[in-house]
């Protein structure tokens, strides 16, 4: 390419990118091919400037987090992801199947430390694969795992006032409806919309529940039921930047239709010893920052979270990429999904957040816009949950000041 044609090419790209920026500023979404080319041809520094600008327009210089207890209800799982150490096999001494009394003990301990969220996490439908899981449920007089979750969620609410938020993988519409009256929100990572990750040798080869079709169906069901949802992407598991963009555009389309996506987690893959991907390379910081910025640019009004514990030395830089939330942080329980990476203390997170010019505030596992009357959709908060929520928040919809640090 000669100098003249090179200049002409760069001018065309610049003009196209300006057109994309203009459309985004007017809340018009460019075609997929346009936005993909824009992200791929814009350097990371410029993308970060754009993402920060978008965040700052909609933000009162506040970064939020949810003060939680992590309730590891059962860590058996019918799937096997190539990067996961959460899943355990029944002979393993680290396999967990809690009794309701144990769950309540954890929630009560969290209440003493001013936690407001009870995060209930399980493996994906363990009772379908493991006799031990079925025996555990039968002994507790439950037919399904979701029945148990619904019951312990109600007990947590009534006895502690902590608000349950369940992440049990891909649930059916019927199962979600069973949890709506006791869970203020649900969580389920999309991880990526690319079916190529199901191929032989890829991250989700042995994890059929990670099929994007299955995950998308659950996200749609939550939207139809008006349940606030936290979803997210796992970055660095074999996807391309184009796959990330397509996944974010899909999330955005679902949210435009149902208005139920409250938060998107952008999580960096970290190789773990003993997994099939232990020798894989984690995403570069530049690529990860680009993914965060892309999420903020494409998902303007949805909260963007990055877990600070997975990048303990550099997580402050994610504020510069346009995030507005640190996710759930526990003063009591570890991150059972990533036990190799302890959470920073809330005091340290508050300090770093302040250094970046923001104030750390505690939120509930349901975001203020789903609580307050100005949300464009209705019925996101069942009557059964309103009193529990109102007891914990101030006029902003965030947690009362005494719970923040």
Tell me the pTM.
0.93
Pairing of strands 325-329, 62-74: parallel
Instruction: Please give the chain's pLDDT, 405 residues, in tens.
Output: 555 444 443 544 465 667 777 677 667 777 778 888 899 889 999 999 999 999 998 878 999 999 999 999 999 999 999 999 999 998 888 899 999 999 999 999 999 999 999 999 999 999 999 999 999 999 999 999 999 999 999 999 999 999 999 999 999 999 999 999 999 999 999 999 999 999 999 999 999 999 999 999 999 999 999 999 999 999 999 999 999 999 999 999 999 999 999 999 999 999 999 999 999 999 999 999 999 999 999 998 899 999 999 999 999 999 999 999 999 999 999 999 999 999 999 999 999 999 999 999 999 999 999 987 545 545 899 999 999 999 999 999 999 976 655
Is the domain spanning 57-403 CATH 3.20.10.10? The answer is no
Distance CA 361, CA 386 (A): 21
Query: What residues contact residue 181 under an 8 Å CB cut-off, 6+ apart?
Result: 382, 384, 385
b/e for 188-223, b at 16 or more Cβ within 10 A? Answer: bbbbbbbeebbeeebbbbebebbebeebbebbebbb
Asked whether 296 and 102 are in contact (CB, 8 A), the reply is: no
Residue found by looking up tokens 């025996």 in the block: 135
Distance CA 154, CA 152 (A): 5
Please, what is the Cα angle at 222 between 243 and 244, to 5 degrees? 10
Can you give the length of the chain in residues? Answer: 405
- CA-nearest of 145, 185, 191 to 166 is 185
Domain map (residue ranges) of the chain = 3-42, 57-403
């Amino acid at each position: 390419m000669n100098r003249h044609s090179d200049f002409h090419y760069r001018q065309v790209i610049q003009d196209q990118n300006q057109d994309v920026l203009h459309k985004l500023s007017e809340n018009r979404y460019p075609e997929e091919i346009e936005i993909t080319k824009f992200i791929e041809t814009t350097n990371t520094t410029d993308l970060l400037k754009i993402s920060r600008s978008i965040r700052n327009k909609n933000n009162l210089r506040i970064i939020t987090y949810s003060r939680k207890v992590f309730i590891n209800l059962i860590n058996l799982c019918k799937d096997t992801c190539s990067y996961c150490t959460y899943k355990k096999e029944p002979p393993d001494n680290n396999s967990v199947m809690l009794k309701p009394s144990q769950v309540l003990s954890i929630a009560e301990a969290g209440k003493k430390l001013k936690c407001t969220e009870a995060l209930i996490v399980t493996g994906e439908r363990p009772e379908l694969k493991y006799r031990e899981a079925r025996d555990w449920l039968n002994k507790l007089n439950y037919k399904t795992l979701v029945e148990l979750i619904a019951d312990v969620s109600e007990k947590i609410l009534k006895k502690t006032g902590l608000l349950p938020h369940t992440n049990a993988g891909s649930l059916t519409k019927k199962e979600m409806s069973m949890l709506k009256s006791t869970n203020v929100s649900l969580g389920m990572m999309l991880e990526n919309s690319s079916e190529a990750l199901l191929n032989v040798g890829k991250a989700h080869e042995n994890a059929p529940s990670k099929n994007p079709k299955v995950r998308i169906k659950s996200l749609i069901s939550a939207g139809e039921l008006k349940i606030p949802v936290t979803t997210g992407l796992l970055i660095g598991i074999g996807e391309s930047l184009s796959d990330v963009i397509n996944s974010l555009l899909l999330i955005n389309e679902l949210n435009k239709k149902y208005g139920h996506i409250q938060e998107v987690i952008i999580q960096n893959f970290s190789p773990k010893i003993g997994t099939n991907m232990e020798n894989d390379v984690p995403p570069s910081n530049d690529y990860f920052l680009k993914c965060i910025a892309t999420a903020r640019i494409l998902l303007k009004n949805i909260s963007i979270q990055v877990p600070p514990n997975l990048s303990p030395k550099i997580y402050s830089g994610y504020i510069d990429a346009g995030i507005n939330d640190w996710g759930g942080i526990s003063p009591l329980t570890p991150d059972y999904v990533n036990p190799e990476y302890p959470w920073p203390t809330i005091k340290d997170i508050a300090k770093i957040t302040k250094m970046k010019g923001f104030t750390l505030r505690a939120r509930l596992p349901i975001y203020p816009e789903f609580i307050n009357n100005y949300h464009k959709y209705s019925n996101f908060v069942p009557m059964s949950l309103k009193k529990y929520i109102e007891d914990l928040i101030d006029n902003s919809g965030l947690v009362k000041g005494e719970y923040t640090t």
